[in-house]
């Protein structure tokens, strides 16, 4: 039973570029949440997708957008990258968002 898988594992981008990160949830999970974790900080909630719609959103600018597909997989898009967007981006899946969340191993994004 595959857990949550994220791709790519590492990424280096230049300021102003756009990036797309991908997440496949754990089998049986229908809800995907995205988090940004800067060094030395806890994960910060970006948004959550359920039934292909954004259900909840944290305090992140519109440069951060996402999508959920019919197979429950999800993408996180970040436009106009800033140096401050450098972080570990984590995807977590759950059943309906009410129970335990399982995390992927993350994508480490570096913006130069």
What is the smallest separation between the CB atom of 50 and other proteins, expressed in angstroms?
9
User: Is 60 near other proteins (CB under 8 A)?
Assistant: no
- Of 14 and 42, the one with the shorter C-beta distance to other proteins is 42
User: Is 45 near other proteins (CB under 8 A)?
Assistant: yes
- Position among 23, 24, 36, 48 found at the interface with other proteins (CB under 8 A): 48
What's the rounded Cα separation, in Å, for the pair 111 and 107? Answer: 13
* Kind and range of the H or E run holding 68: strand 64-68
Binding to other proteins (CB under 8 A) within 85-104 occurs at: 88, 90, 92, 94, 97-104
What's the rounded Cα separation, in Å, for the pair 34 and 43? Answer: 9
What's the rounded Cα separation, in Å, for the pair 64 and 43? Answer: 16
Q: Are 90 and 43 in contact (CB under 8 A)?
A: yes
Binding region for other proteins (CB under 8 A): 33, 35, 40-45, 48, 55-56, 58, 88, 90, 92, 94, 97-106, 108
């Amino acid at each position: 039973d595959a857990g949550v898988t994220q791709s790519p594992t590492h990424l280096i981008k230049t300021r102003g570029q756009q990036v797309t990160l991908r997440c496949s949830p754990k089998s049986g999970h229908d809800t995907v949440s995205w988090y940004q974790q800067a060094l030395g900080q806890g994960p910060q909630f970006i948004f959550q997708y359920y039934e292909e719609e954004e259900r909840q959103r944290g305090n992140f600018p519109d440069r951060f957008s996402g999508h959920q597909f019919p197979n429950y997989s999800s993408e996180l898009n970040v436009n106009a990258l800033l140096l401050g967007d450098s972080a570990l981006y984590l995807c977590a899946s759950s059943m309906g968002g009410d129970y335990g969340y399982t995390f992927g191993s993350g994508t480490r994004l570096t913006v130069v």
